[in-house]
Amino acid sequence: MTPAVRFQRVSRHFGQVRAVDSVDLDVAPGEFFAMLGPSGSGKTTCLRLIAGFEQPTAGHIEIFGETAEGMPPYRRNVNTVFQDYALFPHLNIVDNVAYGLMVKGVGKTERMRAAEQALELVKLPGYGARRPSQLSGGQRQRVALARALVNKPKVLLLDEPLGALDLKLREQMQEELKSLQRVLGITFIFVTHDQGEALSMADRVAVFNDGGIVQQATPQEIYQRPRTRFVADFVGSSNVIAPDAMAAFGGERRWASLRPEAIRLATGEGVPAMVAATSFLGAATRLAVEARGTRLHVTVPAGQPIPATGASVQIAWAPADIHYMDDAA
């Protein structure tokens, strides 16, 4: 099967800065693919390379088997939804959505019909006569999505489009984006620094750091079996345990990852620990405990007794919950 997007040893350098450094990547047709990483990790530059806003310094890019380097953005069958939405304030909503079709020379009747259908798709029927200033942030985000979808791209690029929304609306839009992608069946490539977004929506996740991909796999594998210390710490804030500390806990003398929710407060035998701090999170309470010279975080579900700061406790975990990692940072 021809990949929707393929990177072969792609690099993009800005002077001495290696924003993207020899990245290999295949995104399958119809896949919801997330690029996850901190600011400056290279994920947004990769998105811009797919869109055609940047050209590679080295390497080869294909979009559905067609060579992309040197091809201008307007000739690529991709569209981008930006975080700032980039709507035209002087145009009403239906004209904003239909703008790309107008540029392509599509007749007014046809493009208005297509724009109204796109607005229905994003649950904004009847909003066509309004101006962007009359809409909420979430509604403007939907308009930007409709404007991209009306062009029927093979690949939809989403550059942190939910970053400006409040938490509740962001969670709602995560569900709607995933549902929309399933209905449309087109390839979504989503850039985010929010690991919760990536894990909840994507079929596969590529974790970026320092211009390269550290690990790419399903959300479940990324979370449960991080390849390196960086992935373990960045995705889900695991307890990253050094080799000597792991040996002190009776395990192998190797770097290891242990998720906070895998640690339980033991009533019988366990590892002696002292509660250093507590943080109430609503559905759970997060404890910071000191055990054998190592600080660990423990997630205690709501409804269970919470020991006081300074209390002595016993902690335990199943051996299968320890995941040993590469020595790479």
Domain ranges of the chain: 5-231, 237-324
- Tell me the whole-structure pTM to 2 decimals: 0.89
CATH number of 5-231: 3.40.50.300
What's the pLDDT band for 142 if we cut at 50, 70, 90?
A: confident
Size (the chain), residues: 329
Q: What is the pLDDT of residue 187?
A: 96
SS3 104: coil
Kindly list the distances between the CA atom of residue 290 and the CA atoms of 187, 245, 261, 295, 313, in Å, as whole numbers in the listed order. Answer: 46, 12, 16, 5, 10
Six-digit token string for 90: 């002087």
Query: Is pLDDT above 90 for 84?
Result: no
Q: What is the mean pLDDT of residues 84-103?
A: 88
Q: What is the mean pLDDT of residues 283-302?
A: 94
CA dist 230 and 329 (Å) reads: 6
199-210 pLDDT tens trace? 999 999 999 999
Q: What is the pLDDT of residue 328?
A: 64
Q: How many CB atoms lie within 10 A of CB 1?
A: 6
- Angle at which helix 137-149 crosses helix 167-184, to 10 degrees, equals 20
Q: What is the pLDDT of residue 137?
A: 82
Kindly list the distances between the CA atom of residue 216 and the CA atoms of 4, 34, 87, 190, 192, in Å, as whole numbers in the listed order. Answer: 16, 9, 33, 14, 14
Task: Out of 39-53, 108-122, 166-180, pick the least confident.
Answer: 166-180
- CATH 2.40.50.140 fits domain 237-324: yes
204-253 pLDDT tens trace? 999 999 999 999 999 999 999 999 999 998 987 899 999 999 999 999 99
